[in-house]
Amino acid sequence: MPLDLQQSIAASIELDNFQLSYRPGDVITGNVVRIQLDQPDEVVVTLQFWARVKTRIAESQSNGPNGTNSTRYYEGESTLFNIAETLYQGRAFEGKNVWPFTVTIPDTHLPPRPAAGNTLPPSHYLRDEHLAHMRQRRKYLYVKYVMEADVRSLTKKGKSAMAVLPLNIRTPSSPTPIRDFATRAMATEETVRTLHLLPEYANESLSIRQHMRSVFKRSKIPHYSFAIVVEFPTVIQLEHPTQYRSRSGASCEPERTKRRAPWPKSRRTSTSSRAKCTCGV
C-alpha cells in the first residue's frame, strides 16, 4: 500500500525547497526536526530513502464443465534502491532540534541490474477501485519513492518516533530531447457577408427588410473572404529545453492556403497582426 504523509512534533522531515515532482539526479536538502518537550534525551537519528515496486495480478481459471471459476493471484516486490544514513547520535535538548541532510536521487538501480535494465520508473499508483465493495482481493501496481526519518531514544527503552515523506519522481520521457516535432499546418476558409461592410451601414442597425435581403439575396451582399492557417506540432515533449512556438497567419489567397503552400513572406503574420484583404461588393 502507498505510504501516507506522517509528521509529528517528535519527528518531521522538512525540505528546503519542496517541489511537486523530482527527477533522477536531483539533489534534495532538508532537515529532520524534533521538538523535545521534556528533559534532554539521548537519541539516534537515521534517514532512509528507498524506492520499491510492488504488484499483484489476477488470473481467472475455469475448473471444468461445472462452470465454476477460480482466481489465482501473483504478487511481486522489488527494491530499486535503499539509501540509509545516520545523521546524529547524541543529546536532543529541550526545544527544537534540527539535523540537516543532503540526498541525491539515484539515476539507476542500486545495485545495478544489467539484465533487467537500470532505468528507474516514475512514481505510479494503480489499483482496481471497482473491487472495493466486493469481497475480492484488489489488483494493484505501486512504484513508491519514500523518505523516512527515525528518531530513536537510547534512554527510554528504545522508544522511536517516525516521519514519512513520499516523493513524486518523474523520469524523462526519452534519454535525449526530440528534434522533430512533426509540424503540421491546418487551414480554414471563412467568408463574412453583411451590409455592415458598406460605409453607409457600418454603424447603423439593419432593418427587417435589410435582414431579409441578407438571407434571400446573398449573392448581392458585400462579402469578406479570408483564410487562416495554424501551424502546430503533433509531437510534444515535457520539459524540452527548447520552447516551441506555434504560428498562425491570415491570407487573402484561400486557394493558395488550401494547398498548404509554403508560408509566403509577404503574407505571413502573427495572430495579433491584421491581414490586408479586399471586400467584394
In order, the DSSP letters of 130-197 are GGTTTTSPPPEEEEEEEEEEEEEESSSTT-EEEEEEEE-B---SSSS--S---EEEEEEEEEEE-GGG
Same domain, 121 and 46: yes
Residue 88 has pLDDT above 80, yes or no: yes
pLDDT mean over 219-240 = 82
Q: Cα separation of 163 and 10, whole Å?
A: 9
Q: Which of 163, 152, 47, 45 is nearest to 102 (CA)?
A: 47
Higher-scoring residue by pLDDT: 57, 118: 57
Residue 275 pLDDT grade (very low, low, confident, very high; cuts 50, 70, 90): very low
Task: Determine, yes or no, domain membership for 52.
Answer: yes
Coil vs helix vs strand at 31: strand
* DSSP-derived secondary structure letter, 122: P
Per the structure block, which three cell numbers stand in for 196? Answer: 455592415
Task: Determine, yes or no, domain membership for 63.
Answer: yes
Task: Determine, yes or no, domain membership for 5.
Answer: no
Task: Determine, yes or no, domain membership for 1.
Answer: no
Same domain, 26 and 154: yes
Task: Determine, yes or no, domain membership for 178.
Answer: no
pTM above 0.85?
Answer: no
Same domain, 138 and 61: yes
Residue 238 has pLDDT above 90, yes or no: no
Domain end marker among 134, 167, 200: 167
Higher-scoring residue by pLDDT: 148, 158: 148
pLDDT mean over 117-136 = 70
Same domain, 24 and 156: yes
Tell me the DSSP string of 68-103: -EEEEEEEEEEEEEEEEEEEEEEEE-SEEEEEEEEE
Residue 80 has pLDDT above 80, yes or no: yes
What is the number of structural domains in the chain? 2
Task: Determine, yes or no, domain membership for 176.
Answer: no
Domain end marker among 167, 193, 221: 167
What CATH code is carried by the domain that includes residue 18?
Answer: 2.60.40.640
How do residues 98-123 score in pLDDT, each as one tens digit?
999 999 999 888 887 765 567 888 99
Same domain, 123 and 245: no
Task: Determine, yes or no, domain membership for 240.
Answer: yes
Same domain, 201 and 240: yes
Same domain, 162 and 228: no
Give the per-residue pLDDT at 2.
55
Highest mean pLDDT among 7-11, 34-38, 132-136: 7-11
At 231, which amino acid appears?
Answer: E
Give the per-residue pLDDT at 53.
92
Higher-scoring residue by pLDDT: 47, 249: 47
Domain end marker among 119, 142, 167: 167
- The residue range of the domain holding 143 is 12-167
Task: Determine, yes or no, domain membership for 225.
Answer: yes
